[in-house]
Structure 1
């Protein structure tokens, strides 16, 4: 996603004696929107700025501490708060200007995208706390691209922590107004880079979990015994690599993430699900075959490998809905349909492994979602 009009005094004078000719009307800015959550709870949101002074930034060594922005979505009580912002104007500008095909789209368009959560809304308390879902976005993508999923999970009784991995996103704005840009892996996505990304994201995730445990406000809202991680793209592969080594995270979902490295350091022995586009079907010859190589290392008693017919890489997150609204070609599967499928299957996974509720949707193919194939 990577007019100024000047009016001179001479032109103004001429207009006093010459009929005015109206300039061409400017193209209307696209109107962007996201599907509303479907659960029973209202959704609140709060952004946190967290600083890990125990390590320098892994991508910009001159930064002596690792700074992260984290968004928390949570079940909320009625009243209070204000509509949550999707992106800052600067973040919107950098994302839109990174895509040459969007050169005529006003740079602040994505900042105007309405959400379905309210910043500062009072949290709905629950005895024992809410199960926690940690979310990690794809490379170059801000945490905001997970909003449709995060709001859905919060509306269904989960507290969600979306982590912005600084310098791995095209744009991250901090409370003091600074906006950092992309630095990670500029030399290319090698196996070494992939391993480093997985390590950095594991460290980021564990740091965020420690900070939430130590925060009196949020700690009492979280059931620390029930934590899962859901990631898209490199966030999904990072969730997979983190799962076996984390004492806190008990289940994970990979949304269309290609594995790099292609095998985990240790076998996965906790509930795990991966959902992807058809190029991730077994022996499909697409991508790089990383799912085929990774799968034998998943030793959990509960595991699922699903693909969605017609899906593309962005079909599992907000971009599947937003990019066509900005004027880019539609994906084979409708954007809202892709989000609906992702919501349904990931919520069923979370309900099964964090709430102990059996969801038959995960047992076999469903007539309600004929696009989804089990492998």
Structure 2
């Protein structure tokens, strides 16, 4: 394991262009029921001749809990297997952002991503200079996480976060910092060769090897499940994977994912009983768990357009019937596929269209319900928010 202090922070409006699927205000008006490789927002935005250069300054919402959010970036190598997408590169390598409960006023502001990761996004999407989205301007995004901050004392549940296909891990940063502020250790897992670039221990940032290849998509959840099990091993066996691994309560582990990351959460729960609770945020299940495979708590949180009972994504109904433990199925009116990550918020800050649900509300709802779910299932704290509809959250609809 090698710790890397990232050389520059980068936020990304362009990240919306990395997400599979499209939503309201983007290239299409309906999120697909599966997670195909799709035309991205910036690829389809109308060209404007001699458009003036915008001024972009991105800011993620501050955490809402009592703790600050500390951050480390670690690099792990799984010597037991070759990289599944580029075997010639050698053993599987992972970049992981660890976010943890920290003492306020300690550490230095953490960057959103490395300069090389930002350059990979700009290069992959061919963003015009007039957008104001460059590696240099993206480096100004405020994350509200602090590099090297002093940790709070105690042990905390571990929550692993898995992003959408083609999305860097940092697209779930606002959720990660909020969970940490409420007393969780969070692992944001970078999926090497699955997005525009994750900077590895050797300083290299390899580009995507499987983007645009629909034949590979169905293999992603099982591959990520192996990544996560390896990560859990490194964080809980002898505390060799991370300098602050002593903060983790290894008996209380959960996982949440966005889009295909949600499918990875269910695949991981099937493969690894150490993961006690899971969340799928607006992703089709690949494959759908069979009855008896997941008898632990599970939350399904998705768009009201695509993921209600009887919606276009039939995998949700199949999984609901198969789940054997505590379960909740919630949909969010006005949300699109990107409402459950940082993307819509950053998109708005760059002046691009957003869905009917304000991006701020999308982030707020995602944080509130995911945190409440893990509080109830990993900390055994009853959260009335999960009991039924709330007047404070009229957009959230409880399914069966």
Q: TM-score range by the shorter chain?
A: 0.7 to 0.9
The answer for the alignment partner of 1:16 in structure 2 is: none
Runs of 4+ in 1 over 3 A off after TM superposition: 96-103, 262-266
**1:115 Cα deviation after fit:** 1.2
**1:77 Cα deviation after fit:** 1.9
The answer for the alignment partner of 1:323 in structure 2 is: 347
Q: CA contact under 8 A between 1:102 and 1:326: conserved in structure 2?
A: no
CA distance in 1, matches of 2:330, 2:162: 20
Any stretches of 5+ residues in structure 1 without a counterpart? 3-23
Q: 2:338 aligns with which of 275, 300, 314?
A: 314
**1:317 Cα deviation after fit:** 0.6
Structure possessing the higher radius of gyration over alpha carbons? 1
**1:198 Cα deviation after fit:** 1.3
CA distance 1:96–1:308, change in 2 (3 Å): farther
Calculate the aligned-residue CA RMSD, in Å.
Answer: 2.0
The answer for the alignment partner of 1:149 in structure 2 is: 175
Q: CA contact under 8 A between 1:311 and 1:332: conserved in structure 2?
A: yes
CA distance 1:120–1:280, change in 2 (3 Å): same
Q: 1:183 aligns with which of 204, 209, 212?
A: 209
**RCO higher in 1 or 2 (8 Å CA, sep ≥ 6)?**
2
Q: CA contact under 8 A between 1:244 and 1:270: conserved in structure 2?
A: no
CA distance 1:245–1:177, change in 2 (3 Å): closer
Q: CA contact under 8 A between 1:244 and 1:268: conserved in structure 2?
A: yes
**1:175 Cα deviation after fit:** 4.0
Any stretches of 5+ residues in structure 2 without a counterpart? 1-13, 18-49
The CA deviation string for residues 156-195 of structure 1, in whole angstroms up to 9 with x for no partner, is 111111100111122111243311111136431x4xx344
Q: CA contact under 8 A between 1:43 and 1:151: conserved in structure 2?
A: yes
Alignment of 1:97-108 (within 5 A): 97-99=123-125, 104-105=130-131, 106-108=133-135
CA distance 1:230–1:102, change in 2 (3 Å): farther
**1:61 Cα deviation after fit:** 0.9
Alignment of 1:29-40 (within 5 A): 29-40=55-66
SS at match of 2:87: coil
**1:264 Cα deviation after fit:** 4.4
Q: 2:293 aligns with which of 239, 261, 267?
A: 267
The answer for the alignment partner of 2:319 in structure 1 is: 294
More deviation, 25-34/343-352: 25-34
Q: CA contact under 8 A between 2:67 and 2:104: conserved in structure 1?
A: no
The answer for the alignment partner of 2:398 in structure 1 is: 374
CA distance 1:141–1:56, change in 2 (3 Å): same
**1:227 Cα deviation after fit:** 0.6
Q: 1:206 aligns with which of 229, 242, 248?
A: 229
Q: CA contact under 8 A between 2:144 and 2:177: conserved in structure 1?
A: yes
CA distance in 2, matches of 1:60, 1:343: 35
Q: 2:151 aligns with which of 106, 116, 123?
A: 123
CA distance in 1, matches of 2:270, 2:317: 19
Q: Note if 1:305 corresponds to 2:329.
A: yes
Q: CA contact under 8 A between 1:244 and 1:269: conserved in structure 2?
A: no
**1:326 Cα deviation after fit:** 1.8
CA distance in 2, matches of 1:45, 1:96: 25
Q: CA contact under 8 A between 2:291 and 2:323: conserved in structure 1?
A: no
The CA deviation string for residues 336-358 of structure 1, in whole angstroms up to 9 with x for no partner, is 10000011101110110111110
**1:102 Cα deviation after fit:** 5.3
